[in-house]
Amino acid sequence: MSSYTKLLLAMIISSGSAFSQADKIYVPTNRATIQAGIDASSDGDTVVVLPGRYMENIRFKGKKIILTSRFYEQGDVSFISSTIIDGSTPSNPDSASVVLMVNGEDSTTVLQGFTVTGGSGTNWMDEHGSGLYREGGGILTAYSSPTIKNNIIINNIIPKIAVVNSTGGGGIRAGDGNSKILNNIISGNNARYGAGIVLNYTGALLRNNIITKNSGGQDFGGGALWMNHNGPAGKIIENNTFAWNNVQAVYVWDGSSVIRNCIFWRDSTTSAAQIAVRSGGPAVTYSNIQGGWPGEGNISSYPQFSDSSCHLVSGSPCVDAGDSTAVYNDLEDIQLPGSALWPSCGSLRNDMGAYGGPGASEFPYFGNPTDVKSQDNILPGTIILRQNYPNPFNPRTVISYKLTVNSKVVLKIYDLLGREIITLAEEVKYPGEHSVEWNAQDYPSGVYYYRLSVVPATQQNRVSAYSRNGQSGIFTETKKLVLLK
């Protein structure tokens, strides 16, 4: 190869022209910002964002691409907490949604594996003639049908300003399309209707999400979810956990929807129904609704969350209580035929809530839902509890975890009935990776659970309040392990 040819090739590569044939663009390795990565992409490409905090308000511009953190590689949920799109410094204060998908994006447009935070919404003229609103604090979609999955959409606050009629969709506003919203944490968002999510004149598949501690709803209701008309497709609300949202969880302004296998719970101080309807009506079945709701398989019982990520204890009334039709079954644990794969519990019958059904997956740690202060709930990544190895095991296994701040930790083992078996650790630990070995030589074969409870040093003045609520730590995480002898 001549020196001239080598120089020409180097110039092409350094200019970025080589991306015309590329299928992956890395941010910030290949492009300095997420928006630059999107702009450089072509339909079918994947834009991979490395861990960090990106102070951006991004727009997909109709691109049929996958925008993802490194979560896509092996499903490591720690990348969701550590890859943050922060929209708190917009160039235009009237367009302050963190993510805009408003140019005909379809289901092949995917937003995956991020913490989406700091958004304050976009002034948006309603497509159906009702005036100017400020919507979509975290994500705003219009005439689009993207896939939004495996994200933490958190602490997006839409202010009420004089020129708009109201504010909606603190976490997500989806309109005039058919979005898929799957396996997300939607928490700590605020708006005057649909504080968590607004679905306006749109179809939607809302499945396996945890929607918690959103606040607002003063104008048109919907502490977590506000729905109006269906558009060309229907709304399916399936296997979601709605917990500790302000006012009622769901407000149906108009239209129909299918709600099944969900949990709707606020707290023990109210008996108010968590679903309200102005016009139309949802078909609600096999769900746990505080205050009750008519429909086949519905119950109204305390869900018995086992930890701050809304896992269910094995004896929860929501375990094996969802629709028994096989298509809704939990995934099977191949090590224990006939038993559900963690984080589902019990047998293969659907568990109500976000950890049930064939689409269930683990979530990153995101805070304690029993703290009633709506904005005091998030320290993403404070703890990362890893799956024990080996699993199944006999008789020794290692449990590892990571801390990002100085913390007091308590690590305990429980049997399948929730009885405490042994305390493996109770001590102060510094940030970093830690591990504990359990020698189960003296215990019978079976399914066990290990639970890590953490009190960060900066939060220890709040320990007594959590102890009164039966918590051994402000942050807790639980996983399953199997002893086979």
Q: What is the pLDDT of residue 20?
A: 43
* DSSP secondary structure letter of residue 160: P
Task: Compute the distance between CA of residue 380 and CA of residue 203 in angstroms, rounded to an integer.
Answer: 31
Mean pLDDT score across all residues of the chain? 87
Cβ proximity of 144 and 152 under 8 Å: no
Domain extents for the chain? 23-328, 383-483
What is the tens place of the pLDDT at every residue in 408-464? 899 999 988 888 999 999 988 887 889 999 999 999 999 999 999 887 765 444 333
Q: What gap in Å lies between CA 474 and CA 453, rounded to an integer?
A: 7
User: Global pTM?
Assistant: 0.81
> Which top CATH class is 383-483?
mainly beta
Using DSSP's 3-state secondary structure scheme, residue 184 falls into coil
pLDDT at residue 457, as a whole number:
61
pLDDT for 137 equals 98
Question: Considering the domain 23-328, what is its CATH architecture?
Answer: 3 Solenoid (2.160)
Cβ contact 114:98 at 8 Å: no
Low-confidence ranges of the chain (pLDDT < 50): 1-22, 368-381, 459-473
pLDDT at residue 433, as a whole number: 87
In this prediction, residue 383 carries a pLDDT of: 74
State the Cα–Cα distance between residues 481 and 38, nearest whole angstrom: 41
Using an 8 Å Cβ cutoff, are 163 and 132 in contact?
Answer: yes
403, amino acid identity: L
CA distance 184 to 187: 9
Q: What is the pLDDT of residue 202?
A: 96
- What confidence score (pLDDT) does residue 52 get? 94
